[in-house]
Amino acid sequence: MPRHYTPAVNARQIKPASLRQPCKPDTLKSTRNFNSMNSILILHYHEIWLKGGNKKYFLSRLITAVKQSVEDLSVAGPQYISERLILRPRDEAALPQLIERLRRVFGLAYIALGREVPRDLDGLSSAACELMAAKDPRTFAVRAKIADTTFGMNSMELEKTLGQRILDHLRGRGSAVQVKLHDPQVTCWVEIIPGTALIYADRVEGAGGLPAVTSGKVIVLLSGGFDSSVAAYKMMRRGAHASFVHFFGPPSPARGSSRPVAEQIVRALTPYQFTSRLYLVPFDSIQRQIVAGAHESLRLLIYRKMMARIAREIAKTERALGLVTGDSVSQVASQTLHNMAALDRGLDFPVYRPLAGDDKTEILKLAREIGTYQISCEPFEDCCPRFMPRSPAIFARPEQLQEAEAHLNIESLVNEGLEGTTAVDFMFERGSIACREATLPRLKKLLVWRKATGEPAPEHSTVNEEK
């Protein structure tokens, strides 16, 4: 047991927050052991995206996202100080809700509940001793970050000095506490910033990724199942703004319609990106026309291809840059590499499959974390298994699909899908979701153009509009 506090690693060698042991989600819910008067929330962001000239842009989007997430709660800020954001809650009762909201803000590495304390060594020591006495740990470590070159001590010296003082203080109270630099029970974090110091022992991991709506738009093919919601989340976490397209058939007596399920999923995902649009496309009649002539082993793939074509046209009106699906390689028959290659052939539009390499258990874990799992557990009538053969093709070739579609007038089926499409807009405002039916002037223009030319629209809808 070290009597003296000797940090073995320099603060610069500490792993980034995302690689450290995640804090338990409810760590910050209780402020019972902490003098929460003057509590502040310290938000740290990932730094990778902040290199170079993009920093201002990403940072301003992050600040906007933080503001939008907590605008109805009793809190001041965020204030930007030396690569962190600080929020000052006005009411302790708002803390759990604040933290819950902040955990959905993409771009945040972690959220700490701390206090602002004097920067001099005595002030710092007494705050650190008070904090650690309240925690009464069996093992602890001190970690310091110094973001002010005028402070006069480096982080290792500060860690060592504060560590020793805490050790003496706790031992003096009869504790058998030990210093443990690797995986301590409690860590006392200290951050020195211009004009003040921050101290905390509680923090939770943030959502990570890039700030919302910083990377362009995508259209997610949303089924209501577990996978496509998780696929959407993963793309949103990389800064993409998702709009959703759901294809639905008639409900069966045993299972309800899939539409409310899709709507609930979009509701659950909207707080991460603040606004969403859900397109609802009736698919029953299109499916029947496919079934009338296609070989049954290829039906499912032809449904999928038709969905992708309709979604691609919607993407053009949204000026979206790609489609997203929840396919995971070989999870089901339609998702073999062969079938996915056949599906994408001729689509001439990027298709992202962020779950391609994920196992179902990983996908379900994430679905639980983001709050879509329970929604997808509800029974609903999925349009894809309708008229399904016992053995669907698993090694389809693009030419086979083309042949199987020979009896169909593809462009008129796409028009039929687009004509029946309606949409709902969702907005996360002041802590709740508002929704309203969307008007779709661009989609209507596109349809007029498509009917006049009998062709799919060129890549950008603006071209359509000009024509």
Please report, as ranges, the residues that interact with Mg ion according to CB under 5 A: 223, 225
- Binding partner of 106, given ligand ATP, Mg ion, none, CB within 5-8 angstroms per partner class: none
Beta-ladder partners of 39: 115
Is the preceding peptide bond at 78 cis, omega within 30 degrees of 0? Answer: yes
Shortest separation between residue 273's beta carbon and Mg ion, angstroms: 23
Smallest gap from residue 15 Cβ to ligand ATP (A): 34
Say which entry of Mg ion, ligand ATP, none residue 94 contacts (CB below 5 to 8 A, set by partner kind): none
Q: Report the candidate in 87, 86, 84, 41 with the shortest Cα–Cα distance to residue 59.
A: 84
| Cβ-based nearer residue to ligand ATP, 270 or 325 | 325
Which of the 8 DSSP states describes residue 420? T
Angle at CA 258, nearest 5°, toward 352 and 275?
A: 55
Q: Could you tell which of Mg ion, ligand ATP, none binds residue 246, using a CB distance below 5 to 8 A set by kind?
A: ligand ATP
Determine the Cα–Cα distance for residues 162 and 130; give it in Å rounded to an integer. Answer: 12
Q: Give the Cα separation of 373 and 268 in Å (integer).
A: 10
- Binds 163: which of ligand ATP, Mg ion, none (CB < 5-8 Å by kind): none
The listed partner (Mg ion, ligand ATP, none) that binds 326, CB under 5 to 8 Å by sort, is ligand ATP
In whole angstroms, the minimum distance from the beta carbon of 238 to ligand ATP comes to 17
Nearer to ligand ATP, 225 or 456 (CB): 225
**Which is nearer to Mg ion, 223 or 270 (by Cβ)?**
223
Tokens 């030319």 belong to 453
Is 430 within 8 Å of 371 (Cβ atoms)?
no
- Smallest distance from ligand ATP to CB 352, Å: 10
CA distance 84 to 104: 17
C-alpha span between 260 and 262 (Å, rounded): 5
Phi and psi at residue 250, in whole multiples of 5°?
Answer: -70, 145
Closest CA to 128 of 182, 185, 189, 193: 189
Q: How far is the CB of 358 from ligand ATP (least distance, A)?
A: 11
Residue nearest to Mg ion (CB): 225
Residue 228 touches which of ligand ATP, Mg ion, none (CB < 5 to 8 A by kind)?
ligand ATP
Question: In this complex, which beta carbon is closest to ligand ATP, that of residue 111 or of residue 222?
Answer: 222
CB of 243 to ligand ATP, least distance (A): 12
Judge contact between 301 and 342, C-beta under 8 A. Answer: yes
Minimum distance from CB of 245 to ligand ATP (Å)? 6
Q: Which is nearer to Mg ion, 327 or 405 (CB)?
A: 327
CB nearer to ligand ATP: give 128 or 351.
351
**CA atoms lying within 13 Å on the CB side of residue 212:** 25
User: How many Å apart are CA 243 and CA 229, to the nearest integer?
Assistant: 12
Residues that bind ligand ATP (CB under 6 A): 221-223, 225-228, 245-247, 307, 325-327, 331-332, 334, 383-384
Of 206 and 225, nearer to Mg ion (C-beta) is 225
